[in-house]
Amino acid sequence: MKNFKKFCLIFLLITLVFVLNSSFVFADLEVGGKKIKVETPGCCLLKHKIEGWGSDYNAGTFVGAIPSEGKKAKDVCPSYPSYTPDPNWAGFCMLDAIASVGDIVKYAAMVAVGVALLIAAIMFIGAAGSPEKVKLAKSIFFYSLIGVLIATLANFLPGIVRFFLGI
């Protein structure tokens, strides 16, 4: 029963983090005062600075496929026809998506670490000399440090993927 309560609490916290982040992930983009819904598979909006394949793109740049003969930019990317054509646009979009996942992992881990540290502090203060409670509080603190490590490694996720892809 004790493990089930822990599982429910962790599941609730993860669900809460994803629900709070979903409004940012699925929101429409506002560029130049007009709302844009990016839903076209031929282009994407970069939310991070991405470097690779001899090109650098800043956050807020639309990248997409190079229009084939007879097609115009608005056929490839109707959401934002003045995008930057690049032959490696899918790779840039993939790296940007990986960076976004890394951001979500980082923020979720930091929230979980903050809650765990708060619980550990309360348990340590309320231990009243009980060695079991002190040991449990130290254990929670130790696992919180592992959570900080995971959150820190999430920042390096795009770089790790870039390394293995040879970019």
State the residue for tokens 């540290």: 117
What local confidence, expressed as pLDDT, does residue 16 receive? 60
Cβ-Cβ contacts under 8 Å for 166 (sequence gap 6 or more): none
The pTM score is 0.63
Nearest to 13 by CA among 103, 154, 116: 116
Sheet harboring 43-45: ordered strands across? 43-45, 62-64, 84-85
Cβ atoms 48, 96 nearer than 8 A: yes
Q: Tell me phi and psi for residue 65, to 5 degrees.
A: -70, 155
- The one-letter amino acid at 161: V
Question: Per-residue pLDDT tens for 82-122?
Answer: 777 888 888 888 888 888 888 888 888 888 888 888 988 88
Q: Are 140 and 116 in contact (CB under 8 A)?
A: yes
Separation between Cα atoms, residue 101 and residue 48, nearest integer Å = 12
Please tell me which residue, 73 or 40, carries the higher pLDDT value.
Answer: 73
